[in-house]
Amino acid sequence: MAVSAVPASISEEYYQISQAILESFPKYRLPLDLFIFKENIAQLVLYSKKDSRLTNEQVEEIRLLCAEGDLFVSRADHPIYSQHIVKQLDLVLVDKNLKEAEVADISLRALELRLNDFFDQPVRPVFELLHADVLVVTEYLWTDMHRLRLFVRRLHTGEYSLARHSLNCLSLGLWLLVSPKDEEMRRKSFDQAALALLLHDAGMAKVPPFITGKTAPLKPEEKEKIPQHTLAGYKIMHKLDQTDESMRQALLEHHERLDGSGYPQGVKSVSPFGRLVAVVDAFSAMIQKRAYAEAKDFTTAARELAEAKSRFDFAFSGKILAALASDSFGKSS
C-alpha cells in the first residue's frame, strides 16, 4: 500500500490516525475534526467537522484514506483524543503517531483511572483491568527503557492522592531498578516489580478516608489503623493470587526501616526490593502536599532521605540525589 510522504511540519501539528484507533471511535459521528492530506498541494484540508453525521460513502472513504495514511486529527484536539484512548490503552502501543511525551501522559492517566477503580473496589474483575493496563505500559517501557525518564519527569507534586502516590512510586521505582539498565533483569520480574510498586499501598483502600485525610493529630485508636494497611494489602493481593516475592516485599516491607524503627515487624533485615520501595514511598510522600505537611521540593526530600542513612538505603536515596544534581530528571527538565 502506498503511504503518502507527509511533510514533517504537518506531523508537528496533526496526528496521523491509525486504523485501530479510527475503528475504536463511533463510526458515523466522530468527536473530533478530521483532516485529509492532499498530495498535489502537500497540505491538509478539513474533511469533516467534529460530531457531524457521516454518510456510508464517507465512512468507507475515511477507511480507505486511513489505510493510505492520509487521515489526520489536529493535535489541538489532544484532550479529546487522549480521553478516548485512555480507556483503550492497548491502542497506544500500535499507534506510531503519538509522541513519547503524549504516550507517557496517556499511560499515567489511564493507570490513575484504573487504580482509583481498584482502590474503590479491590476485587478480581477490577484488578484484571488494572493488570492488563500495567502490562501495556511495561511492554512499552521494556521496548525502550529511556522512556522511563519521561515518566519520572511527570511525578505528581500537588495534592496527595493514593493513586498519584502509587504512580510516583511506579515511575521512580522502575527508574531506580533499571538505571543503569540491568541486563540480567527478566521481563517477568520487570512486570512483577511494576505491579508491586503500584500496589504497595493496596491496604490503604481499607483505611477510612476520614483518617488518611485528617489534618488534626490522630487519636491513638486512629493511629493504630495506619500500620495495619501493610497486612491488609497483603491479604487483598493474596486473595487475587498475587503472591510473588516482589509483591510480598513491597507490601510488607515498605514501612520497615534499616535500624528496626519501622513497622509492621520492626525488623532490621529488609530485602533489596523492600528497601527500594521504602525509599520511593517516602520520597513520594514528601513531595506531595499532605493534610498534615506541606510538599517538599525534590532536592530537600532526597537530601533528607540520603541523610537518614541509618533508616533508608543510601544506594537508592543517593541515586535520586545524584540524578537531581545532574538534572537527569525533575520538573526543570
Contact set with Fe ion (CB under 5 A): 201, 281
CB 165 → Fe ion: shortest distance, Å?
Answer: 6
CB 185 → Fe ion: shortest distance, Å?
Answer: 23
CB 281 → Fe ion: shortest distance, Å?
Answer: 4
- The H-or-E segment that residue 140 falls in is helix 124-143
φ/ψ bin of 196: left (φ > 0), alpha (ψ from -120 to 50), beta (otherwise)? alpha
CB 239 → Fe ion: shortest distance, Å?
Answer: 19
CB 28 → Fe ion: shortest distance, Å?
Answer: 46
Cβ proximity to Fe ion, 84 vs 114, nearer residue: 114
Sign of the torsion formed by the C-alpha atoms of 266, 256, 268 and 194: positive
Cβ proximity to Fe ion, 69 vs 173, nearer residue: 173
Extract long-range pairs of 297-303: CB within 8 Å, 24+ residues apart. 298/155, 298/324, 298/330, 298/331, 299/324, 299/325
Cβ proximity to Fe ion, 110 vs 279, nearer residue: 279
Q: Which segments of 63-148 are extended strands (E)?
A: 71-74
CB 296 → Fe ion: shortest distance, Å?
Answer: 16
Measured between alpha carbons, how far apart are the two ends of the chain, in Å?
40
Q: Cα(314)–Cα(93) distance, rounded to whole angstroms? A: 36
- Return the residue matching grid coordinates 532536592: 299
Look at residues 214, 203, 208, 294 and name the one whose alpha carbon lies nearest to residue 254.
Answer: 203
CB 284 → Fe ion: shortest distance, Å?
Answer: 7
Cβ proximity to Fe ion, 286 vs 323, nearer residue: 286
Cβ proximity to Fe ion, 72 vs 160, nearer residue: 160
For 290, half-sphere exposure in the C-beta direction (CA atoms, 13 angstrom radius) is: 17
Cβ proximity to Fe ion, 105 vs 281, nearer residue: 281
Q: Cα(14)–Cα(17) distance, rounded to whole angstroms? A: 9
Cβ proximity to Fe ion, 32 vs 202, nearer residue: 202
